[in-house]
Amino acid sequence: MFKKLDKLIIKAFIGPFIATFFITLLVLVMQFFWLYIDDFVGKGIETKVIFEFIFYQSAVLVPLALPLAILLSSLMTFGNLGESFELVAIKAAGISLLRFMRPLFFVCILLAGVAFAFSNYVIPVANLKSRTLLADIVWSKPAFDLKEGVFYDKIPNFAIKIGKKEANDSVIQDVIIYEQGNQLQDNFIIAKSGVMRISANKRFLEFNLIDGWRYQERGNYYEPGNTEFIRIGFKEYKKQFDLSTLGFSSRTADSVNKNNERMYSMRQLEKAIDSLKKENRDIKEQAQNNMFRQFQFEGLIDTAWSATTTAPVIKPKPVKNFDQLLPDSAKTNINQNVRSIAASVVMGNESTQNTLKDRGRNLRKHQIEWHRKIVLSLACLVLFLIGAPLGSIIRKGGLGTPLIFAIIFFMIFYFSSTAGEKMAKENTLSPFGGMWLATFILLPVGLFLIYKAMRDSQLFNKEVYARFARVVRRFFLKPVGK
């Protein structure tokens, strides 16, 4: 009987989970594209490159989509079973809610393992490739788009304007081309008409101009009086422009971004964290040694202060201030030397403090990434412990009510995770406390919901709150003296 119930609950869970997972992943990918939509438009990017980027970005978002999919699908599963009174029948048979949740709990452990494997092995590679590809797309120049009556200056050292284009976009009229490579002034070409075409290898833009003039100034920039102006008329003139600098024409090597902490596995992060800690200790020790080296008294130890000496200690004559020990001729030099040493020490300490601050932030970022791989995996279990009892309490199936509660709890999880990560980066919280903040908040909520679900709580029954409201209303509206 138990095996059939296990199969029942797993079958009821698998369908909603697959559907919600892919919907969630699509929404997260689209949200990412919405942030960078302006950087993708007009770049002449091939469809293959866009799908490649979507593939890498989808892999990066899998550990974030899994917890939300588990939360929503567990809510829908237990809500559907509660709405059809199957949960009531199972409880009436003497099977507890925890026993009924057990098979899905093991499934979520398996999914948490998958999420950890993705975070540790797949995401570093996907992050590396997607970040490199995104940087190439963002920093690439817009593709060639020559419009009527507008100067186009995306081609280096040239500005092109055409008065009119025919319907086929090849025949052009009233052409003006400025050549911005001359130090004296811009040379330019004017033509009444021409034909525009792209070369076979799509690297060059060719203008075959008809009936025009070329204006040019030649001479020495440092001798402005010794120049000559040249005007050349032509019936036909051919001009080529190199388009290799436009659009998405080249790919950056992945090795450029390989030293980012998001590109590391847990083993690489542990090694990097140990190296950073050792380097920080060495910098502190070196800063201390460098600071004391600037003081001349550091190597001059008074023998009278030695604990091993047996010679009698000679008590000096008491003085009221330090100036009485110095001759007047030495005071000025000593004061200058003291100020110089003090300023040097202050500058050295400030430089060391800034260096240690930057290195400390870098160390915290590595520790944050180490904790993130575990936190996102365990989030699958934490959100399941919220979704399963919550579904059995609200007893509503479909996408309506479960979706509302799923969004609320996922927003709590996401915003608390983001706030904790920000506080960890700013050193307000430790990396452990910041990254585990969402778990510390939601785990007690999940345990509380399990406790309420096991006792058939009316936590979300509106009739209970309506009765309570009526009692409160009667209490406050009760006539005085009765």
Could you report the per-residue pLDDT of 264-291, keeping only the tens digit for each? 888 989 998 999 889 888 888 887 777 7
Question: What pLDDT, on a 0 to 100 scale, did the predictor assign at position 436?
Answer: 92
Kind and range of the H or E run holding 234: strand 223-242
Q: Is the pLDDT assigned to residue 140 strictly greater than 80?
A: no
Section 411-425 average pLDDT: 89
27-36, 244-253, 418-427: which has the highest mean pLDDT?
Answer: 418-427
pLDDT value at residue 256: 63
Phi and psi, residue 427, nearest 5°:
65, 20
- Give the pLDDT score at 110: 92
Instruction: Judge whether residue 169 has pLDDT over 70.
Output: no
| Cα separation values, 479 from 395, 469, 470, 471, Å | 40, 18, 15, 14
Neighbours of 8 (CB within 10 A): 15
How are strands ordered across the β-sheet holding 171-179?
158-165, 171-179, 187-198, 204-220, 223-242
pLDDT at 138 over 70: no
pLDDT at 296: 62
Helix 47-83 with 328-394: angle, nearest 10 deg: 50
Distance CA 331, CA 93 (A): 98
Model confidence at 194: pLDDT above 60:
yes
Sorted by sequence, the CB contacts under 8 Å of residue 71 that are 6+ apart come out as 383, 384, 386, 387, 406, 409, 410
Cα Rg for the chain, rounded, in angstroms? Answer: 37
293: which residues sit within 8 A by CB, 6+ positions away?
Answer: none
Whole-angstrom CA distances from 68 to 28, 295, 406, 414 are 11, 61, 7, 10
- For residue 1, the model assigns a pLDDT of 47
> How high is the pLDDT of residue 317?
64
Residue by residue, DSSP assigns 84-127 as TTHHHHHHHTT--HHHHHHHHHHHHHHHHHHHHHIIIIIHHHHH
Residue 90 pairs in a beta bridge with none
User: Which of 69-83, 213-227, 241-255, 383-397 bottoms out in mean pLDDT, i.e. has the lowest?
Assistant: 241-255
What is the band of 316 on the pLDDT scale with cuts at 50, 70, 90? low
Residue 127 scores a pLDDT above 80? yes
Task: Kindly report the number of other CB atoms within 10 A of residue 472's CB atom.
Answer: 10
Q: Which residue has the higher pLDDT, 311 or 226?
A: 226
Confidence of residue 330 (pLDDT cuts 50, 70, 90): confident
Q: Which pLDDT band, with edges at 50, 70 and 90, does 298 fall under?
A: low
Q: How confident is the model at residue 198 (pLDDT cuts 50, 70, 90)?
A: confident
- Nearest Cα residue to 134 out of 256, 231, 25: 256
Strands 158-165 and 171-179: antiparallel
pLDDT at residue 23 tops 60: yes
Flag the least confident range among 64-68, 131-135, 211-215: 131-135
Residue 385, helix vs strand vs coil: helix
Q: How far is CA 337 from CA 294, 325, 331, 341, in A?
A: 11, 17, 10, 6
Any idea which residue has 């004559």 for tokens? 317
State pTM to two decimals: 0.67
User: Among 306-310, 317-321, 365-369, 447-451, which stretch is predicted with the lowest mean pLDDT?
Assistant: 306-310
What is the rounded average pLDDT of the residues 2-20? 83
